[in-house]
Amino acid sequence: MEDQYTIIDVHVLLLNDDHVLLIRRRGAYGDGMWHLPSGKLDPHEALPAGAAREAHEEVGVLVDPEDLEHAAVLHVANSGPTPRLGVFFHTRRWTGTPTNREPEKCAGIDWFPLHDLPDNVIPYPLAGIRAFTSGTPFAVIGWDDSPSSGLPQLVPERSWQRPCRQ
Question: What does the DSSP assignment read for 29-96?
Answer: TTTT-EE-SEEEPPTT--HHHHHHHHHHHHH--B--GGG-EEEEEEEESSSSSS-EEEEEEEES--BS
**Residue 122 included in any domain:** yes
In this prediction, residue 147 carries a pLDDT of: 55
β-bridge partners, 113: 19
Q: Is 58 in contact with 21 (CB distance < 8 Å)?
A: no
pTM for this model (two decimals): 0.86
**Residue 101 included in any domain:** yes
**Residue 1 included in any domain:** no
In the chain, the number of structural domains is 1
In this prediction, residue 145 carries a pLDDT of: 72
Structural domain harbouring 153:
7-162
**Residue 47 included in any domain:** yes
**Residue 78 included in any domain:** yes
CATH number, domain containing residue 136:
3.90.79.10
In this prediction, residue 152 carries a pLDDT of: 55
pLDDT tens-digit series, residues 18-56: 999 999 999 988 999 999 999 999 999 999 999 999 999
**Residue 2 included in any domain:** no
**Residue 85 included in any domain:** yes
pLDDT tens-digit series, residues 97-113: 999 999 999 999 999 99
**Residue 148 included in any domain:** yes
pLDDT tens-digit series, residues 89-148: 999 999 999 999 999 999 999 999 999 999 999 999 999 999 999 999 999 888 877 655
